[in-house]
Amino acid sequence: MKSKNSYSVYKPLCCSDMMPHVNSRREFMRIAGGAVLFSSMGLMSTGAQAASGNYEAMVLSCIDPRFQDLVNKKQSSDGLSGKYSAFTVAGASIGVVAPAFKEWSKTFWENLGASIQLHNIKKVIVVNHRDCGAAKIAYGDAKVATPAIEAATHKEALLEFKRQLQEKFPAMGTHLGLMALDGTVETFS
């Protein structure tokens, strides 16, 4: 009768010299499985590589959590899934052009320049949204007091963004939108 602890020792022929501490098939499979998992996640790669190539656009949107999924769904429905870089900042275009957030502007324009260089993008899609806290911070409650005033405030910021974009990157196209809480988008040009 065999004892409970008797088992045959498994020494893989190809790796036995490199892993002398492995004394069972189970231990070898645990180590090998971990190596496969880490390599599939890129953790054993020789270095990170930039995702360069040709992409359609950069999407500029707000940090508001209510709109993250809506913006992604909109881009997907427009056939842009996996075809755009993203920049998220409070207020979207307001975060780039409003004097209250002037420190953020340089960061956006530098990131856009990097996206143009890395991704060869052709346009910037800007998605502002209604009920935006950054709009209230930047311009005050009166500038978003009614839906019509709010739309006019966003339109002004979006058109100022477009003006600055054309000044800095004349060949770059734009698509300007104001998203409602239900995901519908009013466009401006």
- Matching CATH number, 57-188, of 2.40.30.200, 3.60.40.10, 3.40.1050.10, 3.30.1330.10: 3.40.1050.10
User: Coil, strand, or helix at residue 84?
Assistant: strand
Domain ranges of the chain: 8-49, 57-188
pLDDT at 53: 77
User: Coil, strand, or helix at residue 130?
Assistant: coil
- Relative to beta strand 57-61, strand 173-179 is unpaired
- Relative to beta strand 185-188, strand 173-179 is antiparallel
Query: Which tokens in the block code for residue 1?
Result: 């009768």
Distant-in-sequence, close-in-space partners of 67: CB < 8 Å, separation ≥ 6: 61, 127, 129, 179
Indicate the range of 41-45, 69-73, 96-100, 120-124 predicted with least confidence: 41-45
Mean pLDDT of 125-138: 97
pLDDT at 25: 57
Residue 45 above 50 pLDDT? no
pLDDT at 26: 60
